Chains A and B, each alone.
Chain A
Amino acid sequence: MGEKKQKEIVVISGKGGTGKTSLTACFAALAKRSVISDLDVDAADLHLVLGPKIKERGDFSGGVVAEIDQDKCTQCGKCKEACHFAAIEIKDGRYYIDPVACEGCGVCKLVCKDSAVITKPAINGEWYVSETRFGPMAHAKLGIAEENSGRLVTLVRQKAAALVSEGLNKIIADGAPGTGCPVIASLTGVDYALVVTEPTVSGIHDLKRILDVTRHFGVKSGVVVNKHDLNREITEQIKSLTGEYQFNFLGVIPYDKNVTLAQMKKQSLIEYGQGKALENIKQIWAKLCSEVFGV
């Protein structure tokens, strides 16, 4: 493996619904051509704007599905004892595995003395490599009520990295809300985390928690406040909080209904071409470029 050529930016938020995906789509448009990835694998939306044409797809298996062979099972209870996910149920004296609670770790099979646990690779989702008007895109769909979204995120990141080539070395990724597994999987080793928040008590509370996570993993981060005109006082508090973390405050975006109107036309706001948020987003992109790409 040679030196890492690409620069990877991930857009995350802590709190959901702050405008990650709309902003990511704008960045993709402003970058003109880059590698795009959607790491919000359990509620992906970026494809709704970018309309990717799928070129390649594959199944994602993040574990196993386990089932108990009732003919072999002697009801010893070892599996139930060993399962950390409370996935083994007893009904009428027989043992069953609840497929939804099961996280596919395979421990039940390891402890079963009667070889009564049958496992096969689970299909937990599907990954795609596609083409969009702003460059190639790696994305995925987590299966319904499936687990191991963190590993699917890692897989999508690998697919995105493979799309990097000479002259196409920016990866722009749309992340997931929260501070859980998929978020952590989207953060490790990236060059920059752009955190989009909103000026509400929830926004600032969740921002602090996600900045703790980016700091924990040593990821350079920048903060953007969306809908800053909703509460200017909290916007100021967010600015100082960002400073306390020694991260960069990259700017604010005003509330703008055109963001929804653009979404309905399956366009980024940049293509839609109107609205008061437009100028701010361009400035934020310029700052981000100088921070991450040094241009």
Chain B
Amino acid sequence: MLKIAISSGKGGTGKTMVATNIAATLAGQGQAVTYLDCDVEEPNGHLFLKPRIEKEENITILSPIGVSDEKCTKCGKCAEACTYNAIAVARGKVLFFPELCHVCGACEIVCPAGAIITGEKKIGVIKHGKSRGAVDFHYALLETAEGGMSPRLIRKVKEFSGEGITIYDSPPGTACPVVETVKNVDLVVLVTDPTPFGVNDLKLAVEMCRKIGQEPVVLVNRAEYLDDELKKYCAQARLEIIGEIPDDRKIAEVYSVGDIVIDKLPQYARLFKGLAERILEWVKKNKKR
């Protein structure tokens, strides 16, 4: 079992392009690959690997869905206990904001009148399929306006980790959805571009990884260096740059229509093969530690 997360601080650095091409490369070599799209807010991997969907399931959780007017005594204990400002008592009325609720259960525990109404709430859907004959593909779509439920849905997606190589296509940033994705994997690959925004967000992502005990490696996309900030930072932070993908408009064009780079631009097949090898070497190195 080898678990590889492809993540980034900044959005749009090429996570999905890298993850899909690595998956296609490994599958082409006959490896058992599982692709888990953990960017449940904006999943894109399926647009490229085009899995044939075999099964779909709604993900629901037992959640507060309202407050019983009859039972509620307007004591305000629920509002006091709620960390997320999802429930408020004002002018003798109790207001519930489901989109802010993180379903922690505090309101139900503290309500002396048993007035919190719970029910199954849909937080998203998970789709399962196969791609390129060899890739087990799973992705989820977070329900509209269920923002707070991202980590919960990601946890569900991660239940489908495979026995062979599992690739986790991560959301961008450094907040809880990313933490949920990259924790307990064997290697985090941080994709960055060498722009000032890219370098700034890479630093944040590296700090996040290290805080949770992950030692990431860096992959530079659109590697046209207009200054040496990225290389300086990586050297100083003792970060390994495991590869570079050139700033080639042809890659952007292939990506724009939903194609896999190694299929349409065979000149890059070797580059991704090399990247896949290096990633696996690092996974093995990390596992030994």
Q: Do A and B bind each other?
A: yes
Find the residue from B48, B150, B195 having the highest chain A CB count within 10 A: B195
The answer to whether B44 touches A234, judged by C-beta atoms less than 8 angstroms apart, is: no
Q: Which of B25-33, B65-73, B78-86, B276-284 contacts A (4 or more CB under 8 A)?
A: B78-86
Decide: A145 and B84 in contact? CB cutoff 8 A.
no
Do residues B196 and A264 form an inter-chain contact, with CB atoms below 8 A? yes
B242 interfacial contact with A, CB 8 Å: no
Interface size on A, residues (CB 8 A): 68
State the CA gap A180–B208 with chains docked (Å): 19
- Chain B residues with Cβ under 8 A from A90's Cβ? none
Contact indicator A201/B147 (Cβ below 8 Å): no
Cα A212 to Cα B102 in complex, Å, equals: 21
- Cβ–Cβ contact B109 & A110, under 8 A: yes
What separation, in Å, do the CA atoms of A104 and B151 have in the docked complex?
A: 14
- Across the interface, do B226 and A43 meet the contact criterion of CB distance under 8 Å? no
Residue of B at shortest CB range from A234?
B256
User: Quick check: B105 and A84 within 8 Å, CB to CB?
Assistant: yes
B103 contacts the other chain (CB 8 A): yes
Closest Cβ–Cβ distance, residue A122 to chain B (whole Å): 10
B249 / chain A contacts, CB cutoff of 8 Å: 230
Give bound CA distance, A21 to B172, whole Å: 15
- The verdict on A284 contacting chain B, using a C-beta distance below 8 Å, is no
Question: Interface digits, A181-222 against B, CB 8 Å rule (1 contact, 0 not)?
Answer: 111110000000000001111100110011011001100000
Closest partner residue, chain B, to A147 (CB atom): B176
Whether, in the assembled complex, A17 has its beta carbon less than 8 Å from a beta carbon of chain B, the answer is yes
Total residues of chain B contacting the partner, CB 8 A: 64
A21 and B84 form a contact (CB under 8 A) = no
Tell whether, in the assembled complex, residue A64 and residue B83 are in contact, meaning their CB atoms are under 8 Å apart.
Answer: yes
Bound Cα distance from A250 to B81, whole angstroms: 44
**For A213, what are the chain B residues with a Cβ–Cβ distance below 8 Å?**
144-145
CA distance A142 to B173 in the complex (A): 11
Q: How far is the CA of A205 from the CA of B255 in the complex (A)?
A: 13
Question: Total A-B pairs in contact (CB under 8 Å)?
Answer: 205
B175 contacts A106, C-beta separation under 8 Å = no
Counting CB contacts under 8 A, is A251 at the interface? no
Binds B, one of A68-76, A171-179, A274-282: A171-179
CB-defined interface of B137-158 with A at 8 Å, one 1/0 digit per residue?
0000110110110111001000
CA distance A86 to B39 in the complex (A): 20
Contacts of A209 in B (CB 8 A): 41-42, 141, 144
| CB pair B13 A42 closer than 8 Å | no
Whether the pair A45, B10 counts as a contact (CB closer than 8 A) is yes
Question: Which chain B residues lie closer than 8 Å to A266 at the CB level?
Answer: 196
**Within the complex, what minimum Cβ distance (angstroms) separates A206 from chain B?**
4
Residue of A nearest to B144 (CB): A212
Q: B173: which of A177, A205, A234 is its contact (CB, 8 Å)?
A: A177
Q: Which residue of A lies closest to B213 (CB)?
A: A100
Q: Mark B253-272, 1 if CB is under 8 A from A, else 0.
A: 10111100000000000000
What are 8 residue pairs bridging A and B, where the CB atoms are less than 8 Å apart in the complex?
A: A43-B201, A86-B155, A145-B211, A150-B84, A177-B12, A200-B255, A216-B144, A230-B253
Instruction: Give 6 closest A-B pairs by Cβ, nearest first.
Output: A16-B11, A17-B12, A105-B104, A201-B258, A178-B41, A42-B175
> Which of A's residues lie within 8 Å of B, judged by CB?
13-18, 21, 42-43, 45, 48, 62-64, 82, 84-86, 100-101, 103-107, 110-111, 142, 144-151, 154, 176-185, 198-202, 205-206, 209-210, 212-213, 216-217, 230-231, 234, 260-261, 263-264, 266
